[in-house]
Structure 1
Amino acid sequence: MTTTESLPSDIYAIADVHGRADLLEAMLGYIATASNDHRAKPVVIFLGDLIDRGPDSPKVLDQVCSTLDIYPDSQLILGNHDFYLRELLRGALTDEDAVNWMDWGGVATVSAYSKRPVPDFENIAADIRRVFPHHVDLVENALTFKEIGRFCFVHAGIRPGVQLANQSDYDLRWIRAGFLDHMDVFDHVVLHGHTITKSLRPEVYSNRIALDTGAYRTSRLSAAVIRRDELSRFICTELTGTGTIQVGEWRPD
């Protein structure tokens, strides 16, 4: 039986970085300072879509690798964009997936990794495997979901009426309809990204917490903090008009 005493002191769930290493660096700096203040190592759960659209996807993966080393119970949940990178590195990227990936922001990622022209995917993958073997390990070891206490951490969401163990990988990475409009409770409170919130701020519902605030275009990256199996507060790192990054926190109503 899980008790609040056996749970991590603080869990940080960060969604949809999309290549914004600047915003993630500020977020991780905040977490490091907070954990030093509390003298306990937190758990950081990255909810996927580390890459694409933004300018610094390789640096983001470096940051995530370092975070998982510093805080060993932390995890990456594989997002639909990260899935394409994993398939590329496996040599399993289909032509259809390649077209979709490039259309949805993948050009920024492969161009940041390699100077080879698109679509020279075989050699681009070889470059990444040679220079960034830790990134290969990162995406290969990523999860599709994580349960901690009464919360479930996923990228996109879950299919109502289906047990977590029986959820399809596709739904966990892609679902919108059927999940976002589901009003009844789930077995867990679901923390997710994948769909940018209408408010461009984290949004709390009776059965889920939405954390994708569109970092690649809003310059706002958000995280939820879970403490003792309850939502404690939100953290936001945001690029200001003067070019500095500010960190704000607020508590849910």
Structure 2
Amino acid sequence: MKSTESLPSTVYAIADVHGRADHLEAMLGYIAAHSNNRQSKPVVIFLGDLIDRGPHSPKVLDQVCSTLDLYPGSRLILGNHDFYLRELVRGALTYEDAVNWMDWGGVATVSAYSGRPVPDFEKIAADIRRVFTHHVDLLENAHTFMEMGRFCFVHAGIRPGILLANQDEYDLRWIRAGFLDHMDVLDHVVLHGHTITKSLRPEVYSNRIALDTGAYRTGRLSAAVIRRDELSHFVCTELTESGAIEVGEWRPD
């Protein structure tokens, strides 16, 4: 599913939560605190990979459902990890995808959803469909990308030289080579996650903004703030020495 939306005053794009409900809670608290005095509510775009690796994937989906209800126009972009969960609940998860998913953090996710042993996927899927119907709806209504002003919001990236409407969904969820090394101008500035940045900070390039800062292992969940169709700044969570989570604004040099 693809979406083109009118331009809101403020957009937060959040990438690759990967089960870190604690950091997402802190990020959403920041957004709420900085939205109370504004005339219009912001739009929050989740760039996918809500689940796996971190400890609280079902809670993250609860948080995302609540956020989409709270801020009209907000959306989830389906990530490659989220795709596996969607295919599981559809009963369409292939053997190859199941093996890959379990190797890449899926065991923690399905175990958090159901006490049934892996790989009893049929019964696990039935448990999810019965108890977490709102999560099923969230995944089924997720988008593959969004266009908004001069920006394109996507999980992994796009294939240069191909119109957005003609992009392959696999590329949108998985691409690295051919996109990350593409230096020429694109039709949109692409906001994406999927690939952890080398600096472990958000990185700004001439044609893209990379937002995956490895929250599940670094403790840094990052969001880009877009105002009036321009990048304003970033918001990042940080772990203190005491283990508390702080949220601060960050601007690259």
TM-score, with length taken from structure 2: 0.97
Residues 5-42 of structure 1: per-residue CA shift (max 9 Å, x gap): x6211100000000000000000010011111223200
Indicate if the aligned counterparts of 1:220 and 1:239 stay in contact, CA closer than 8 A: yes
Q: Give the match for residue 226 of structure 1.
A: 226
CA distance in 2, matches of 1:62, 1:237: 20
* Percent identity (aligned): 86
Indicate if the aligned counterparts of 1:44 and 1:75 stay in contact, CA closer than 8 A: yes
CA distance in 2, matches of 1:9, 1:228: 6
Indicate if the aligned counterparts of 1:202 and 1:222 stay in contact, CA closer than 8 A: yes
Residues 145-203 of structure 1: per-residue CA shift (max 9 Å, x gap): 00000000000000010000000000000000000000001000000000000000000
Determine whether 1:11 maps to 2:22.
no
Residues 45-100 of structure 1: per-residue CA shift (max 9 Å, x gap): 00000000000000000000000000120000000000000000000000000000
Alpha-carbon RMSD: 0.8
Equivalent runs, 1:54-73 vs 2, <5 Å? 54-73=54-73
Q: Give the match for residue 30 of structure 1.
A: 30
**Shift of the alpha carbon at 1:134?**
0.1
| Secondary structure of the structure 2 residue equivalent to 1:220 | coil
Determine whether 1:161 maps to 2:161.
yes
Q: Give the match for residue 86 of structure 1.
A: 86
CA distance in 2, matches of 1:210, 1:82: 19
CA distance in 2, matches of 1:147, 1:67: 20
CA distance in 1, matches of 2:37, 2:249: 16
| Secondary structure of the structure 2 residue equivalent to 1:172 | helix
Letter in 1 for 2:123: N
Q: Give the match for residue 3 of structure 1.
A: none
Letter in 2 for 1:104: W
CA distance in 2, matches of 1:240, 1:138: 33
Determine whether 1:133 maps to 2:156.
no
CA distance in 1, matches of 2:157, 2:7: 23
CA distance in 1, matches of 2:216, 2:52: 9
Letter in 1 for 2:242: T
Q: Give the match for residue 3 of structure 2.
A: none
Q: Give the match for residue 116 of structure 2.
A: 116
CA distance in 2, matches of 1:241, 1:114: 34
Indicate if the aligned counterparts of 1:23 and 1:239 stay in contact, CA closer than 8 A: no
The unaligned stretches of length 5 or more in structure 1 are 1-5
CA distance in 1, matches of 2:45, 2:149: 14
Number of residues of Structure 1 aligned to a counterpart in Structure 2:
248
Q: Give the match for residue 46 of structure 2.
A: 46
Determine whether 1:202 maps to 2:202.
yes
CA distance in 1, matches of 2:181, 2:170: 18
CA distance in 1, matches of 2:161, 2:151: 17
| Secondary structure of the structure 2 residue equivalent to 1:35 | coil
CA distance in 1, matches of 2:72, 2:110: 28
**Shift of the alpha carbon at 1:252?**
3.6
CA distance in 2, matches of 1:252, 1:53: 28
37-46 or 148-157: which moved more? 37-46
CA distance in 1, matches of 2:7, 2:170: 29
Letter in 1 for 2:148: I
The unaligned stretches of length 5 or more in structure 2 are 1-5
Indicate if the aligned counterparts of 1:19 and 1:216 stay in contact, CA closer than 8 A: yes
